[in-house]
Amino acid sequence: MNRQNLIRRRIFFYGIVQGVGFRWVAHNAALAANATGWVHNEYDGSVTMEIQGTAAQIAQVLDALENARYIRIERTVSRDISVIFDERRFAIK
């Protein structure tokens, strides 16, 4: 992967996003897209994800989440953050 095309995004998901397999879907979609980062449940019922890859890889993961059964994303807040060049996997925290 060309390092120049890498982006990293922190995304906060709100809606029906806990107890519905969100982290599992995110993990499997990230693996399929060859994206790295992590996903974590928050105490307020939201989910935070940091995802790194190309714009197309990130879009692939987000599409999987939006089309997943039971998950209902009502709102997202995202921002680009610094790339972690030595990151090698996607983790569920």
In the sheet that 90-92 helps form, which strands lie side by side, from edge to edge? 72-81, 7-16, 47-53, 36-41, 90-92
| Catalytic hit among 41, 69, 79, 89 | 41
Concerning whether 23 is annotated as a catalytic residue, the answer is yes
| Catalytic hit among 23, 28, 75, 89 | 23
What one-character-per-residue DSSP string does 9-73 give?
EEEEEEEE-SSSSHHHHHHHHHHHHT-EEEEEE-TTS-EEEEEEE-HHHHHHHHHHHHTSSS-EE
- Annotated catalytic residues are 23, 41
